Amino acid sequence: MIRLAITDDHALIREGLIRILSYEDDLDIVIESDSGEELIKKLSTITPEIILLDINMDKLDGIDTLKIVKEQWPHIKIVILTVEKQKRIIKEVLKLGADGYVLKESAGSEITSAVRAVSAGGKYIDKSIMQTVFMEEMIGRKKMSLMIYLIGS
């Protein structure tokens, strides 16, 4: 059984996720919280395997929450669930130790795939942002290689 925490400041999102995930026999939601602050308090008594974490929240945002969780509970895995598509933010949370990154516009099946992949020890990046973030870097490297080749010729 994969024990989950859901942290999002929008009740509709939390309730929707709970409904979607409750259909899955191998998933158990053990924490529901509306802020990073509330999540941190609950983590002192309940330990999930994975946290689904929004970035944009009042009180304690997802980035600061991610830092605290990874420092105090490094064994807990975190899947960012957000609307943020900015490359800078994606790279920042991955560098800070996020295990997955899924957009809220994704289907429920994408979220369950992310949870299962991360639970199995992998990383998961939403398919729609994979191209944005990593293809741009690959193209940049190819351009750099071409420039080096041309300069060297």
Domains of the chain: 2-126 (3.40.50.2300)
Is the pLDDT at 28 greater than 90? The verdict is yes
pLDDT digits over 36-80, tens only?
999 999 999 999 999 999 999 988 999 999 999 999 999 999 999
Side chain identity at residue 107, one-letter code: A
Residue 108 parent element (H or E): helix 108-119
Averaged pLDDT, 138-149: 52
| 64 vs 8: CA distance, rounded Å | 14
pTM of the model: 0.86
pLDDT at 76: 98
| C-alpha–C-alpha distance, residues 41 and 37, integer Å | 7
Question: Which pLDDT tens digit goes with each residue over 92-121?
Answer: 999 999 999 999 999 999 999 999 999 999
